[in-house]
Structure 1
């Protein structure tokens, strides 16, 4: 039986092309799976004629992985044939019914290109030797089989009289693979890495499905891969209508970044004259900047101003947000005179909105990086509205510093000038970044704060950090009006503003009545 179709699954792209990295085993023929990003994790795919164990609990995706691999193989090669052997009680009809919703499923490939056979009866009636005879016969009859999948290896272990007999069975399978010139996958629900067949096979892949807090998380780990290098550690897994999609950890994908980005750097202005003067005409291209501020202070409007100013100069901009849907965002910009609609319509600015659901951290990074790679252009601008969205998507919070470092480095390599906003408390005498790791990976930090003064609330802006550039260290008041954001030439009405305690200075005029 076969699964497959001629068109690519929708999530087929990967943040780095499969086989892009050099591998010491590059000369060994590879079997590419076509499963999004699995070949990248294996640095080119499985080694041909090898025997691989795929283990994991029920529901982790073993059967989908095995079938998707078969369908993708026959789709990629007109001569490829696959044999899928089940040792489970579940009938083929029920399995295919469950798989029929996958985009790659194609009944036209069954049984000529993908052949399904049950080995349960042979195993039950004749034991391990009977199953080996059945496999040998099937591979002989279906010459040219490229992939053999045995689903339900735990049934063999349960029928084996002892551990030695089971190990001999696995050894026989390896011999059959070599003689038949096919690559074999042994699917098992056993969750123990020390399982006896794992010492014999050429590679071990573990799929997990676990609850972490309230979230259900699927992950893939390569524990062993003889003859080749691979990306170690856990990688996120999603099962969608397009099948299994794997998201390699961002920090291990880009563990060896280029030494530097483009040397031809320029200033990227905000189009706000007084603020641009504070930062020597703009941010250096290819840099990352954190916008820190309380809710409603104007972080989003400042970020949109940055994108629109770039669009006026012909520079492409991307808004990546989590909390404000595009219609609300456009309406918000329209009310303060920021012409976002025009540049969205002409395609200079793109809005990517992620509704506040359960996202996967590496999937979010891939979405942005793949978009940027797909449309390579110099001097692009990116505004990530809410680093909290990435934090909420992280299952393991201790990953965030390494993730942000790798992610921002890639944006620099792509000549993207990035703004990232982060929420602070409304009124606080202390300035503390909720994500200290963000301050370590950005070149610039801009602080926006409220201050209470004579029953009035004022907005203040200051530059807290700016690498590789001079900047104005003074604190300025800023206003949001019908013409967008206006930054004052100076703010002389408050003292000790960073402590949140403001008072009038004798002889100085305050800006009462202005908000």
Structure 2
């Protein structure tokens, strides 16, 4: 995944009064980390010559964080040099073996530009003063070092004779960083944020690794960051072969949409003549629509028709789904005469399938937004087949209203016309949306329903709301056959039709070849 640029649309995570030191930090030199999106959270990276504490339990990613930061730093600049000091943690040989599978790891940088040294013998034999002397000598001998990482700081605290001695040690580290023109990172096992060194350092970052239900979830929180604004709260963390990837909360990145649309609006049709007539020619461009319906009512086929009609008009489209893999989706379209294959082969429609794994909600949103940003074009179409896939990926369900609002706003800003599906219960007398907030964040809601008459199942379609446009309020029957989706003319009113308790349906006719 690509790293977010600093000028990405987003909120100022805290006010100047909230940030330690407050005020603008535009003139303060920054140390960019190149850890995906961390620099965005920190509004440009760490302030140079600062001292920062990174806390977290075993397995939360502290060592990967420190090494990734260092290797990315020396990769970016030919003059950059880093020193990585280990205390009572894993041996250097084991650490390097574990890191060798990471893409950021470059053994050619060792030892000239990425220098590992063990500080524990000096700490054990000579105490805190011995470790300070070792650090001073190392930085003096390796002139030009601009990043210092001390991994395993809890060993220093345990060896300190008093709490005051430990605080003085941290204070000396700060002075050493300033004199050596070096940015220092203190890595330690998780402890209370009120601990001794936390009042002295310039910033505090916490990594957590916890079970929420059956899921293991890593998160990053910036608790303190002197001299700069930053994005507050918890942010998702992934660790894979690329290293650490951080996903800021979607609702805090995209909570400041434009006050009004600037592009000229157009109608984005579905290619179904009678249905497009119901919505005055199509959805307004840059809007979002929800297709609600029970399983099998035709939501996916209606969404695919939307993409294919756009491709026929030269508008690019993306299918983003969670449940049906691409081969099955293509076969499904062929069965009803939707020419999906041609447009996939031409590249005007892309199929993106999320396999049934434990996804992270912000990661899914970031992946989709980045894909749309890579090649910005006007009048693009997006079909998200199963908004419940985002809900299933959410660790905190109460985030969904804010997430959906920010996510759909960002899609509008990219001039993307979005259609999403939402699954309703099968054969229920009540219409109850699993995500009630979805109805508030989309402009258009289309309801697809089953009804039963004389032992036959029929499909009905109705438009429940459509902002910014007139629309046909009548209920229509529709069929799905090898000819595709066909929406009939209005069959008139039917008693309690939307409750699923229809008794008489004027205008219904038997349909041959219906699927």
- TM-score tier by shorter-chain length is over 0.9
* Secondary structure of 1:433's aligned partner: coil
Q: 2: CA distance between counterparts of 1:220 and 1:413? A: 28
Among 7, 14, 38, which residue is 2:4 paired with?
14
Shift of 1:426: 1.2
**Corresponding position of 1:5:** none
Q: 1: CA distance between counterparts of 2:258 and 2:492? A: 45
Shift of 1:15: 7.2
**Corresponding position of 2:407:** 407
Q: Is the 8 A contact 2:286 2:411 kept in 1?
A: yes
Q: How does 1:254-293 map to 2 (within 5 A)?
A: 254-293=254-293
**Corresponding position of 2:16:** none
Q: Is the 8 A contact 1:18 1:44 kept in 2?
A: no
**Corresponding position of 2:33:** 33
**Corresponding position of 1:58:** 58
C-alpha RMSD of matched pairs (Å): 1.5
- State yes or no: 1:131 paired with 2:121: no
Q: 2: CA distance between counterparts of 1:263 and 1:77? A: 41
**Corresponding position of 2:489:** 489
* Secondary structure of 1:94's aligned partner: helix
TM (normalized to structure 1)? Answer: 0.96
Q: How does 1:448-467 map to 2 (within 5 A)?
A: 448-467=448-467
Q: 2: CA distance between counterparts of 1:200 and 1:385? A: 50
* Secondary structure of 1:302's aligned partner: helix
Q: Residues 67 and 454 (structure 1 numbering): CA distance in 2 closer, same or farther, change over 3 Å?
A: same
Shift of 1:494: 3.5
**Corresponding position of 2:508:** 510
**Corresponding position of 2:477:** 477
Shift of 1:258: 1.6
* Secondary structure of 1:436's aligned partner: coil
Q: 2: CA distance between counterparts of 1:251 and 1:499? A: 35
Return 5+ residue gaps in structure 1 as ranges. Answer: 1-10
Q: How does 1:383-394 map to 2 (within 5 A)?
A: 383-394=383-394
Q: How does 1:22-171 map to 2 (within 5 A)?
A: 24-171=24-171
Shift of 1:347: 0.6
Q: 2: CA distance between counterparts of 1:243 and 1:503? A: 61
Q: 2: CA distance between counterparts of 1:445 and 1:154? A: 56
Q: Is the 8 A contact 2:10 2:256 kept in 1?
A: no
TM (normalized to structure 2)? Answer: 0.96
Q: How does 1:329-478 map to 2 (within 5 A)?
A: 329-478=329-478
Q: Is the 8 A contact 1:479 1:487 kept in 2?
A: yes
Runs of 4+, deviation exceeding 4 Å: 15-23
Q: Is the 8 A contact 1:19 1:40 kept in 2?
A: no
Shift of 1:153: 0.3
Q: 1: CA distance between counterparts of 2:381 and 2:499? A: 33
* Secondary structure of 1:232's aligned partner: coil
Using the TM superposition, name which of 337-346 and 428-437 deviates more: 428-437
Q: Is the 8 A contact 1:315 1:380 kept in 2?
A: yes
**Corresponding position of 1:188:** 188
Q: Is the 8 A contact 2:3 2:34 kept in 1?
A: no
